[in-house]
Amino acid sequence: MKYTVDDNGYYGRFGGAFIPEMLYPNVEELRENYLQIMSDPSFQKEFNDLLENYVGRPTPLYKAARLSEKYGAAIYLKREDLNHTGAHKINNTIGQILLAKRLGKQSIIAETGAGQHGVATATVCALMGMECKVFMGKLDTERQKPNVERMKILGAEVIPVTSGSMTLKDATNEAMRYWIGNPKDTHYIIGSVVGPHPYPDMVARFQAVISQEMKKQLKAQTGSENPDKIIACVGGGSNAMGAFYEYLDDLDVELIAVEAAGEGVNSGRSAATTALGQPGILHGSSTLLMQDDDGQVIEPHSISAGLDYPGIGPQHAHLFDSERALFLNATDEEAMIAGIELSKLEGIIPAIESAHALAALSKLEFKKEDVVVVNLSGRGDKDLETYIKWGKY
Amino acid sequence: MNRLNHLFNTKKENILNVYFTAGFPELNSTVQIIELLSRHGADIIEIGIPFSDPVADGPTIQASNKRALDNGMSLNLLFDQLKDIRKITQIPLVLMGYLNPVVRMGVEKFCEKCKEVGIDGLILPDLPVKEYRDHYQETFKKFGLSNVFFITPQTSEERIRAMDEATDTFLYMVSSPGITGAKSYIAESQIDYFTRIQAMQLKNPALIGFGISDNNTFMQASKFSSGAIIGSAFINALAQDEKLENSIPLFLNSILKKS
Ligand SMILES: Cc1ncc(COP(=O)(O)O)c(C=O)c1O
Residues 256-285 of A with CB under 8 A from B: 278-284
Instruction: Tell me, yes or no, whether B156 lies in a domain.
Output: yes
Give the structural domain span for B168.
3-254
Q: Which atom of ligand 1 is nearest to the CA of A241?
A: 11
**Is residue B105 less than 8 Å (CB to CB) from chain A?**
yes
What burial letters (b/e) apply to B202-233, b meaning 16+ CB within 10 Å?
bebbbbbbbbbbbeebbbbbbebbbbbbbbbb
Give the orientation angle of helix A199-207 with respect to helix A24-39, to 10 degrees. 30
| C-alpha span between A236 and A183 (Å, rounded) | 25
B52 in contact with A at a CB cutoff of 8 Å? yes
Measured in angstroms, how far is the CA atom of residue A126 from the centroid of ligand 1?
A: 22
| pLDDT tens for each residue of A183-223 | 889 999 999 999 999 999 999 999 999 999 999 999 999 99
How confident is the model at residue B1, as a pLDDT? 64
With beta carbons under 8 A apart, name residues in chain B contacting A170. Answer: 53
Task: Give the side-chain half-sphere CA count within 13 A for B215.
Answer: 10
Q: Say which residue, A334 or A166, is predicted with more confidence.
A: A334
Query: Nearest CA to A337 among A355, A350, A364?
Result: A355
Find the CB nearest B150 among A20, A181, A293.
A20
* pLDDT for res B32: 98
- Cβ contacts (< 8 Å) between A286 and chain B: which residues? 103
Is residue B204 one of the residues assigned to a domain? yes
Residue whose CA lies nearest to ligand 1 atom number 6: A235
Closest CA relative to residue A306, chosen from A89, A125, A78: A89
Among A121, A168, A353, A379, say which to mutate for ligand 1: greatest number of ligand atoms within 8 Å of CB.
A353
CB < 8 Å to B55, chain A = 20, 173, 176-177, 180, 283
pLDDT in tens, A29-87: 999 999 999 999 999 999 999 999 999 999 999 999 999 999 999 999 999 999 999 99
What CATH number should be reported for the domain holding residue B89?
A: 3.20.20.70
**Cβ of residue B58 closer than 8 Å to a chain A Cβ:** yes
Which of the four pLDDT bands, split at 50, 70 and 90, describes residue B117? very high
- Rounded to the nearest 5°, which phi and psi values hold at A121? -75, -45
Using the predicted structure, report yes or no on whether residue A22 has a pLDDT greater than 70.
Answer: yes
- B259 domain-assigned: no
ipTM of the complex: 0.95
Model pLDDT, residue A164: 82
Q: Is B134 a catalytic residue?
A: no
Query: B60: which chain A residues are within 8 Å (Cβ-Cβ)?
Result: none
Burial class (CB in 10 A: 0-12, 13-18, 19+), B73: buried
Q: How far apart are CA A336 and CA B169, in angstroms?
A: 57
Which of B35, B43, B46, B120 does the annotation list as catalytic? B46
Q: Is A393 within 8 Å of chain B by CB?
A: no
Among partner residues B75, B125, B156, which is closest to A20 by beta-carbon distance? Answer: B125
Task: Return the ligand 1 atom nearest residue A237 CA.
Answer: 9
d(CA A87, CA A80): 6
* In chain A, % of residues over pLDDT 90: 96
* Structural domain count of chain B: 1
CA gyration radius, chain A: 19
Question: For residue A9, what is the nearest residue in chain B, using CA coordinates?
Answer: B131
- A24 to chain B, any CB pair closer than 8 A? The answer is yes
Q: What pLDDT is attached to residue A114?
A: 86
> Does B62 lie at the interface with A, CB-CB under 8 angstroms?
yes
Q: Spell out which residues line ligand 1, taking CB within 6 angstroms.
A: A 87, 113-114, 116-117, 192, 233-240, 306-307, 351, 353-354, 377-378
The residue nearest atom 4 of ligand 1, judged by CA position, is: A353
Within an 8 Å CB–CB cutoff, is residue A7 touching chain B?
no
Q: A338 C-alpha vs ligand 1 centroid, how far in Å?
A: 17
State the nearest Cα–Cα gap between A20 and chain B, in angstroms: 5
Within 8 A of B59 by CB-CB distance, chain A residues are: 163
Closest Cα to atom 12, ligand 1: which residue? Answer: A306
Taking Cα atoms as reference points, which of B94, B96, B206 lies closest to residue B160?
Answer: B206
Q: Which positions 194-233 of B are in contact with A (Cβ < 8 Å)?
A: none
pLDDT for B259 beyond 60: no
CB-based burial label for B3 (10 Å; 0-12, 13-18, 19+): buried
Write the CB contacts of A36 (distance below 8 Å, at least 6 apart in sequence): none
Q: Which residues of A touch B100 (CB under 8 A)?
A: 280-282, 289, 291, 295, 297
A89 is catalytic: yes
**Residue A215 is inside which H or E element, if any?**
helix A209-222
Q: What digits encode the pLDDT tens for the residues B59-108?
A: 999 999 999 999 999 999 999 999 999 999 999 999 999 999 999 999 99
Segment (H or E) for B95: strand B93-96
- Which of B55, B59, B105 lies nearest to residue A295, judging by beta carbons? B105
Q: Is residue B206 included in any domain, yes or no? A: yes
Q: Which of A85, A307, A356 to mutate to test the pocket of ligand 1 (most atoms within 8 A of CB)?
A: A307
Across the interface, whether the CB atoms of A180 and B178 are under 8 A apart is answered yes
SS3 B198: helix
CA B57-B62-B67 angle, 5° bins: 155
Are B255 and B19 in contact by the 8 Å Cβ rule? The answer is no
> What is the torsion angle, in degrees rounded to the nearest 10, for the CA atoms of residue B164, residue B166, residue B170 and residue B174?
-70
* Distance (Å) from CA A146 to ligand 1 centroid: 17
On whether residue B234 sits in a domain, the answer given is yes
- For chain B, the residue count is 259
Cα A93 from chain centroid (whole Å) = 12
Q: Is residue B100 part of a domain?
A: yes
State the Cα–Cα distance between residues B103 and A352, nearest whole angstrom.
34
On whether any CB of chain B is under 8 Å from the CB of A19, the answer is: yes
Q: Which residues of A231-258 are buried (b: 16+ CB within 10 A; e: fewer)?
A: bbbbbbbbbbbbbbbbbbeeeebbbbbb
Q: What is the average pLDDT across A8-14?
A: 97
Cβ contacts of B154 on chain A, cutoff 8 Å: 22, 24-25, 183
Q: How far is the CA of A89 from the centre of ligand 1 (A)?
A: 7
Length of chain A counted residue by residue: 393
pLDDT score of A154 more than 80: yes
Atom of ligand 1 nearest to the CA of A234: 9
